[in-house]
Amino acid sequence: MKIELINGVSRGTLEIIARKISDRTITDRILQNEFTAVGLCQGDIVSMLVASDIAEKTSDVVVSEISGVCPQHITCLGIFGDVTSVEASLAVIESRLNKK
Amino acid sequence: MKIELINGVSRGTLEIIARKISDRTITDRILQNEFTAVGLCQGDIVSMLVASDIAEKTSDVVVSEISGVCPQHITCLGIFGDVTSVEASLAVIESRLNKK
Amino acid sequence: MKIELINGVSRGTLEIIARKISDRTITDRILQNEFTAVGLCQGDIVSMLVASDIAEKTSDVVVSEISGVCPQHITCLGIFGDVTSVEASLAVIESRLNKK
Amino acid sequence: MKIELINGVSRGTLEIIARKISDRTITDRILQNEFTAVGLCQGDIVSMLVASDIAEKTSDVVVSEISGVCPQHITCLGIFGDVTSVEASLAVIESRLNKK
Amino acid sequence: MKIELINGVSRGTLEIIARKISDRTITDRILQNEFTAVGLCQGDIVSMLVASDIAEKTSDVVVSEISGVCPQHITCLGIFGDVTSVEASLAVIESRLNKK
Amino acid sequence: MKIELINGVSRGTLEIIARKISDRTITDRILQNEFTAVGLCQGDIVSMLVASDIAEKTSDVVVSEISGVCPQHITCLGIFGDVTSVEASLAVIESRLNKK
């Protein structure tokens, strides 16, 4: 699973991300700059779902699939929140899924 | 076939799963927290259908494809129920499909 | 070509299969439990079409592509009928396409 | 390029083929049993277009892409006609594209 | 990048090409036999865009993506014109992109 | 990550690019020749999002995903601006993402 953290995400990047999320509640919050950081986790569907579950159980973050209308077997999870919360979630995902 | 069990699935993860299932009867039951565990089985279409058949014949679970609008040759099966039932189904799928 | 036979297909599995077939005449017959067995043949489009032709010329079965709205270069053929007819078709497909 | 010839194509197979062709004029002729044979050529888009051009310049056949709504980089060409014409086209395609 | 030239393109092949182009202005000109030759360049999106730019700067040709409704990461560029112009463009694309 | 710069992009190429961008504000600016150069970065979704963030934080450019309606796990980022700005962004992307 490929994991990246972007802090203070640039405006055009937020718009690209928002276009690839189908949950309008979350895209509205993204476009209103509610989140200062985003964690990205790319992998197969099973890993993405497990990572999503870990993130929400680890810290105060919002999770959403970043892939748009036509999901593939490789998908990308977005983890949104402040940088401390996102980092905490990514650390647990890293240790659980990439250390196997 | 890749197999994972998530127990006490977090809310955002349930919503990602529900968005990737086309059978509204099942997504309604998922969003009403009727199931406490989900088993995930990822593989080609033939393996996914065989696993689905094994799961329903093994224990009291509900099965559904998790992949959204545009299915690929790699797909993901969701097996929903209480944790004991889901674990029993996953054990038989593991022994039949991954021991070959 | 990957070949599997499921006999006495479970209900949820039938519903997953029916969702992945675009010919409504065949899905109706599937959902009314008209067929007791299903043969599954997964491969490229050319192999799938050759297998379909072999199946219909071998025994009294109904054939349909199992892949839903967005076909890929890997597709899956469903062969529906009683278990004797489906087994006969699968045996000829196996000997013609997998023995090359 | 993978090449196959089916002679006296079975009814269900013709219907699977017809569902995967977007040119209604050709699907009507297929479903009215106008063609007794079909040649199948599977490969990348460039090879498929070159094969299509060779087929029409070689014998009295009708060509169409067999892939449905969502074309991929691997596609399949159908060459329709009587068995002598289709065989003649396939022979030239074989010698030009697979002998390189 | 895979490169092919078809001169005096057959009618059915022109129709397959026209179905895979979304710019109606260009498909009209193709179907009215305005172009006597077509060059085909298949590769990833970046290479296809660079080849398109080279073709238009090299000779009097019309460029269009040949891939239909649902573009993939492998796509195909069509270069339309008389055979001399298309050959000139393909020669420069060949020397710039395949000699690296 | 594959990176290319096209300066003084040809008209047909601009139109191919514009058809593959879903943000109408950006396609309008492209078709009005507002940008003299385009940078192309092709890779997985995570790399594309990181590159987009780097580009906007590096120089005065506009970013957009170039992939059309049906995004894949391989996607392409377009970075639009004058040639100096685009070159500056590509240099930083190159050093951050391809030097790892």
The pLDDT assigned to D69 comes to: 46
Report how far residue C2's alpha carbon sits from residue A56's, in angstroms, rounded to the nearest whole number: 39
Query: Which residues from chain B sit within 8 angstroms of residue C11, using beta carbons?
Result: 56
- What are the C-alpha distances in Å from C54 to residues B45, B46, D12? 21, 19, 11
Gyration radius of chain D's alpha carbons = 12
Which of D46, D71, D73 is facing E40, going by the closest CB pair? Answer: D46
Q: How confident is the model at residue F69 (pLDDT cuts 50, 70, 90)?
A: very low
Tokens encoding E18: 């026209």
Partner residues linked to E74 by β-bridges: E44
Q: How many CB pairs under 8 A join B and C?
A: 70
The pLDDT assigned to A69 comes to: 47
The pLDDT assigned to D22 comes to: 84
Subunits in contact with chain B (3 or more CB pairs closer than 8 Å) = A, C
Q: How far is CA D58 from the centre of its chain?
A: 14
- What are the C-alpha distances in Å from B67 to residues B53, B55, B74, C24, E91? 18, 18, 9, 21, 44
Q: How many CB pairs under 8 A join E and F?
A: 69
Q: How confident is the model at residue B69 (pLDDT cuts 50, 70, 90)?
A: very low
The pLDDT assigned to C1 comes to: 87
Q: Which of B1, B4, B10, B80 to mutate to test the interface with A (most CBs of A within 10 A)?
A: B10
C-beta of residue F66 within 8 angstroms of C-beta of residue F40: yes
E77 vs chain D: nearest CA distance in angstroms? Answer: 10
Of C56-65, C69-78, E7-16, the least confident: C69-78
In terms of Cα–Cα distance, which of E100, E77, E86, E28 is closest to E58? Answer: E86
The pLDDT assigned to B67 comes to: 76
Reported ipTM: the value is 0.87
* Cβ–Cβ below 8 Å for C46 and D2: yes
Of B9-13, C74-78, E39-43, E66-70, the least confident: E66-70
Strands (E) across D1-100 are located at 2-7, 37-44, 62-65, 74-81
> Low-confidence residues of chain D, pLDDT below 70?
68-74, 99-100
Tokens encoding F69: 């309606």
Q: How confident is the model at residue E100 (pLDDT cuts 50, 70, 90)?
A: low
What DSSP element (H or E) covers F64?
Answer: strand F62-65
Please report where in the chains the tokens 């999106």 appear, as a residue: E45
The average pLDDT across F26-45 equals 93
The average pLDDT across C31-46 equals 92
Report how far residue D84's alpha carbon sits from residue C37's, in angstroms, rounded to the nearest whole number: 38
In terms of Cα–Cα distance, which of D97, D93, D42 is closest to C45? Answer: D42
What stretches of C1-100 show up as alpha helix (H) in DSSP? 11-19, 24-31, 45-58, 83-97
The pLDDT assigned to F98 comes to: 85
Computed over every residue of chain B, the mean pLDDT equals: 89
Superfamily holding D2-97: BMC (bacterial microcompartment) domain (3.30.70.1710)
Q: What are A19-70's pLDDT values in tens digits?
A: 888 889 999 999 999 999 999 998 888 899 999 999 999 999 999 998 754 5
- What are the C-alpha distances in Å from E41 to residues D49, E33, E47, F6? 12, 21, 9, 18
Query: Which residues from chain B sit within 8 angstroms of residue A73, using beta carbons?
Result: 42, 72, 74-76
pLDDT at B72 over 80: no
Report how far residue F98's alpha carbon sits from residue F85's, in angstroms, rounded to the nearest whole number: 19
The average pLDDT across B73-94 equals 91
The pLDDT assigned to D29 comes to: 96
Computed over every residue of chain C, the mean pLDDT equals: 90
* Cβ–Cβ below 8 Å for C50 and D4: yes
The average pLDDT across B81-96 equals 95
What DSSP element (H or E) covers C80?
Answer: strand C74-81
What DSSP element (H or E) covers C81?
Answer: strand C74-81
Percent of chain E with pLDDT over 90: 73
Q: How confident is the model at residue C72 (pLDDT cuts 50, 70, 90)?
A: low
The average pLDDT across A64-77 equals 71
For chain D, domain boundaries: 2-97
How many CA atoms, within 13 angstroms, populate the side-chain half-sphere of residue D49? Answer: 29
The average pLDDT across C77-100 equals 91
Subunits in contact with chain D (3 or more CB pairs closer than 8 Å) = C, E
Q: Which residues of chain E are at the D interface, by a Cβ-Cβ cutoff of 8 Å? A: 2, 4, 6, 9-13, 15-17, 19-20, 40, 42, 66-70, 72, 74-76
Query: Which residues from chain F sit within 8 angstroms of residue E64, using beta carbons?
Result: 12, 16
pLDDT at F99 over 80: no
Q: Which residues of chain A are at the F interface, by a Cβ-Cβ cutoff of 8 Å? A: 2, 4, 6, 9-13, 15-17, 19-20, 40, 42, 66-70, 72, 74-76
Give the 3-state DSSP-derived string for chain B, with helices as H, strands as E and coil as C.
Answer: CEEEEEECCCHHHHHHHHHCCCCHHHHHHHHCCCCCEEEEEEEEHHHHHHHHHHHHHHCCCEEEECCCCCCCCEEEEEEEECHHHHHHHHHHHHHHHCCC
pLDDT at B75 over 90: no
- What are the C-alpha distances in Å from E11 to residues A52, C29, D62, E36? 52, 41, 10, 11
